[in-house]
Amino acid sequence: MPNFKIFQDRPEQAKVQIHGSQNLPVLQESDGALVVKSTLATTDVSVAAAGVTTSEPGTTYQVIGFKEWTFGVTNDTADPNSATVKLQVSPDGTAWIDQSATVTLAEGEATGLVSDIFLKYARVYYSAVNGASPVDLTFYFQGQA
């Protein structure tokens, strides 16, 4: 037969204090709900490329420390000039694999590029559709660890 006897003769007055890993009490709201703090870190970087006329690789990002990440690209050109962009990933920062189809962005358009392959590095490869008509692009790298 189990022994349900506790040191307090009145169980409704029995209380337990829970401590975290650093011997500090766990925080709670006034209604008794536990306070939970997120340990997720986020990254938000933007880079502009003005007057693009040739095909170029964008900034290389090490993405291995991110649980989720994505690139956003906007064509900020005032004139009716288009650009092409595609996502590339790499295991070593040297050998690049096209991870997305080439996307054509008219002026004022935006796109998001997401990988379904897990490799250490990522970048956006971009170009003006017509080398005689430069484009202005902004690249957004956003990640969550």
Q: Residue 96 falls within a domain, yes or no?
A: yes
Residue range 58-83, pLDDT digits in tens: 999 999 988 899 999 999 998 889 99
The SS3 assignment for 64 reads coil
Q: What does pLDDT average to over the chain?
A: 85
Phi then psi dihedrals of residue 29, to 5 deg: -75, 170
Say what the pLDDT of residue 43 is: 84
**Res 56: pLDDT:** 92
The residue ranking higher by pLDDT, 41 or 100, is 100
pLDDT of 123: 95
In a domain, 34, yes or no: no
Provide the sign of the torsion angle of the four alpha carbons 11, 23, 65, 145, taken in this order.
Answer: positive
Computed over its alpha carbons, how large is the radius of gyration of the chain? 26
Domain count, the chain: 1
pLDDT average, residue stretch 92-112 = 95
Residues spanned by the domain of 98: 42-144
Residue 133, domain member (yes or no):
yes
* Burial letters 34-53, b for 16+ CB under 10 A, else e: eeeeeeeeeeeeeeebeebe
